[in-house]
Every structure is written in structure tokens, then in C-alpha cells.
Amino acid sequence: MGAGKSSIGRRVARALNVPFTDTDAEIVRAHGAIADLFAREGEERFRALEREAVREALERRGVVALGGGAVLARETRERLRDHRVVLLTVDEDSIARRIRGRRRPLLNGGDPLAEWVRIAGERAPIYAEVADVAFDTSRLPTQTTVEHVVAWLRGEEQHAAAPEEER
């Protein structure tokens, strides 16, 4: 959450001249706001819709931005094995600024930053499992991160550490 998946993904797709799909945006388009969907139908229903959105997006090819919890599903992790996966990370200080005042279903209770830290910690091993490479978005301008991702995808750069190297 808050690492820049949508904005960076959209720019990477444009740079590579391929389609871009944001699975969260697809869900919103078909079912309304995610926070409302969570409240109305629960997280389990949202996750089922998310798995389907991911499946469809991966079949269309191009750059796909997944919601932060999409990889919790084993089915999604298995589908990602056939694709290059870029993990975008962000540190606590940066995320505190990015999530302030935002409506995010999993962060709406108590202390949003503490919840983000907890969720990020729980998901980190899963992210590392599926990612081929990681880029930190905390301090670099968005366009610089885009350039690094594009270079990596084109095989031009060994800039980012693979998740295994970051542990």
C-alpha cells in the first residue's frame, strides 16, 4: 500500500508501449469503491473479485499493478511464476506522508501507520517469494524509479537488489 504501484506501473507501460491494468481500478470500475465493497460484502468477497481481476489482467499481458494483498492468494502467486514481478517498497517515514487522509479499508482503524507496519511485516516474506527484483520508492522521484524499472525489464540494468539479496 502506498508504494506507487499505479502511478509507476502506468508510466512503465507507457515507456514500453504496452497496455496497463490496475486490478484495483478494474474492481472499482465493476463494483464501486473498494472501501464500500469491503463494508458491504466483506474482505472474502473482495479477495475473490481480486483473484479474478488478476487472472484476467495477466491473460491480457502488459504491465499489471496488483493490489497489495493480491499475492496472499496461492492461486495468484502461482500465476505470477510465469511473469516478471517487480516489488515496489517504501519506508515508514515516506508511507506516513502518503497514507495521511487516505481512505484504505485495511488502515481505517486506530493508528493507520501502525497497521501499515504490521501488514507490511506480515506480507514481506510473500512479496519476497514472488518478486524477481525490488525497487525502493521512498526517496527517488517517480520518473527515476520508472527509468530503473524499465531498464531492468529491458535487461539494461542490474541496479536493484533481488529480494533475496535484501534479507
- Tell me the DSSP string of the chain: --S-HHHHHHHHHHHHT--EEEHHHHHHHHH--HHHHHHHHHHHHHHHHHHHHHHHHHHH-SEEEPPTTGGGSHHHHHHHTTS--EEEE--HHHHHHHHTT---GGG-SS-HHHHHHHHHHHHHHHHHHH-SEEEE-SSS-HHHHHHHHHHHHTT----SPPHHHH-
Q: Over the chain, what is the mean pLDDT?
A: 86
Largest distance between two CA atoms of the chain: 46
Q: Is there a binding annotation on residue 7?
A: yes
| Average pLDDT of the segment spanning 61-80 | 94
pLDDT tens column, 138-163: 888 999 999 999 999 999 755 444 44
Ramachandran sector of residue 127 (left: φ over 0; alpha: ψ -120 to 50; beta: rest): alpha
CB neighbourhood size of 162 (10 A): 14
Give percent of the chain with pLDDT exceeding 90: 62
pLDDT tens column, 25-58: 999 999 999 989 988 999 899 999 999 999 999 9
Q: Is there a binding annotation on residue 4?
A: yes
Q: Is there a binding annotation on residue 24?
A: yes
What homologous superfamily does CATH list for 5-166?
A: P-loop containing nucleotide triphosphate hydrolases (3.40.50.300)
Q: Is there a binding annotation on residue 123?
A: yes
- Give the per-residue pLDDT at 165: 42
Q: Is there a binding annotation on residue 65?
A: no
Q: Is there a binding annotation on residue 136?
A: no
Q: Is there a binding annotation on residue 5?
A: yes
> Whole-model pTM?
0.82
